[in-house]
Structure 1
Amino acid sequence: MASPSADPFLRATAVFDHDHPRVAALARELGGGDAEAVARRMFEWVRDRIPHTGDAGHDAVTCAASEVLATGTGFCYAKSHLLVALLRGAGVRAGVCYQRLSIGEGRFLLHGLAAVELPTYGWYRADPRGNGFGIDAQFTPPREQLAHETRMPGEWDSRLVFPDPLPAVEGALRRCRGVRELSSAWPDLELPPRGGTGDGTRTAPATA
């Protein structure tokens, strides 16, 4: 059951269900210390201990933090959901961010990130999707080291932080029953979303 909170970046929801016993237990296990230390520990745990669904060749499509833990896999969105839930469970404000990335042949998809509010630096984005295959995402505040950079026309990189997943993302993860179905219906938005908190959006140049 979602827990009430006056702060939307701390509350438990159906996706960020840090009130679920397994999520709460892991948040306690990884918690302790200042916010930056907690965030680094949780980021590295999710990045390294939960395989990225596509990288690992799994077929399950997960969404809520508890589903990611129970299934042991998730795409970028779901792994970010787990990281956000763990952070909130430890009392650290957290939300989600998005990039739009090209996958070739005129197709694009949204890429999910987590964002944590650090006392020294403010909102800091981290990408727990998992390393390997030329990807090296790290937790190095105040410098960001994400899995992807936006360079292709039509891509964008939003720094806006949202307290809940975008409906396009949550809807796709809830609706699709397997990777094949999801891969034909990746969540996508041509323009950056509005309404979050943060400091703006960078759009890839109109020419390569």
Structure 2
Amino acid sequence: MFQKFILETDAIDFGHPKMIQKSLQLFTPKMSDVEKAIIAYEFVRDEIPHSFDCNAKVITARASDVLIHQTGICQAKANLLAALLRSQNIPTGFCFQHITLADDDSLGYCVHAYNAVFLEDHWIRLDARGNKPGVHAQFSLKKPVLAFSNRPEYDEYHWPGIYANPHRDTMLKLKKAGCLQDVLDHLPESLNEKPDVSV
């Protein structure tokens, strides 16, 4: 069941030299999986600014590019966290949320990505989007503390299940985007894939 959640892929390229270097900096063999997950999560959440928060001039998608350029949107940052943890053989996947692009639904919706990590015999959910006023995601082995709460009045919800791979349509849009406005204008708002784990 877990094999597909520890694989290296084009987007989750933990074998890249920069990824290997960062893993050696972050982790030691004596650390537990929980300790490694906390360190990786806080690094991606706090040290890699969300592209819209820092008005990034470069658009990233692949984990190594997020690390090299030190920025990414939610899906790109989730790719980096997955790569760091998979490099330590810690099963890591993706979860998705239907949320508004603005404080209300005036700008439409997008597919927000965050991670699921298998620790202490169960899946936990971690959102490394990056904290800011009004966003206070935290590491939790129990009840998830995510970046965004669903607001039913705005048709916000989580897609059920855990996915082994990033959201395909979002990745395609990121690879084609030349600037943040391109990203904003073309972010997908639907999910067509089926989850690899139903929880």
What TM-score do the two structures reach when normalised by structure 1? 0.87
Q: What amino acid is aligned across from residue 93 of structure 1 in structure 2?
A: P
RMSD of aligned residue pairs (Cα, Å): 1.6
Indicate the residue corresponding to 1:205 in structure 2. Answer: none
Deviation at 1:96, TM superposition (A): 1.1
The reply on whether 1:147 has 2:147 as its aligned counterpart is: yes
d(CA) in 1 for partners of 2:17, 2:33 = 22
Indicate the residue corresponding to 1:180 in structure 2. Answer: 181
SS across alignment from 1:123: strand
Q: What amino acid is aligned across from residue 13 of structure 2 in structure 1?
A: D
Indicate the residue corresponding to 2:14 in structure 1. Answer: 18
What TM-score do the two structures reach when normalised by structure 2? 0.90
Q: Deviations over 1:48-71 (max 9, x none)?
A: 110111011113210001000111
The reply on whether 1:123 has 2:119 as its aligned counterpart is: no
Deviation at 1:21, TM superposition (A): 0.9
Correspondence for 1:99 among 97, 100, 105: 97
d(CA) in 2 for partners of 1:112, 1:23 = 21
Distance change in 2, residues 1:66/1:106 (3 Å)? closer
Q: How does 1:1-208 map to 2 (within 5 A)?
A: 7-32=3-28, 33-103=31-101, 104-105=105-106, 107-120=108-121, 122-152=122-152, 153-189=154-190, 193-199=193-199
Deviation at 1:11, TM superposition (A): 0.9
Q: What amino acid is aligned across from residue 11 of structure 2 in structure 1?
A: V
Identity %, equivalent residues: 29
Asked whether the equivalents of residues 102 and 155 of structure 1 are also in contact (C-alpha less than 8 Å), the reply is: yes
Q: What amino acid is aligned across from residue 87 of structure 2 in structure 1?
A: G
Q: What amino acid is aligned across from residue 134 of structure 1 in structure 2?
A: G
Deviation at 1:158, TM superposition (A): 2.5
Asked whether the equivalents of residues 160 and 195 of structure 2 are also in contact (C-alpha less than 8 Å), the reply is: no
Distance change in 2, residues 1:184/1:20 (3 Å)? same
Deviation at 1:94, TM superposition (A): 0.4
Q: What amino acid is aligned across from residue 123 of structure 2 in structure 1?
A: W
**Which deviates more from structure 2 when the two are superposed, residues 34-43 or residues 145-154?**
145-154
- Give 5+ residue unaligned stretches, structure 2: none
SS across alignment from 2:4: coil
d(CA) in 1 for partners of 2:195, 2:39 = 29
Deviation at 1:170, TM superposition (A): 1.1
Asked whether the equivalents of residues 117 and 123 of structure 2 are also in contact (C-alpha less than 8 Å), the reply is: yes
- Give 5+ residue unaligned stretches, structure 1: 1-5, 200-208
Runs of 4+ in 1 over 4 A off after TM superposition: none
SS across alignment from 2:25: helix
Deviation at 1:30, TM superposition (A): 1.8
SS across alignment from 1:113: strand
Deviation at 1:145, TM superposition (A): 0.5
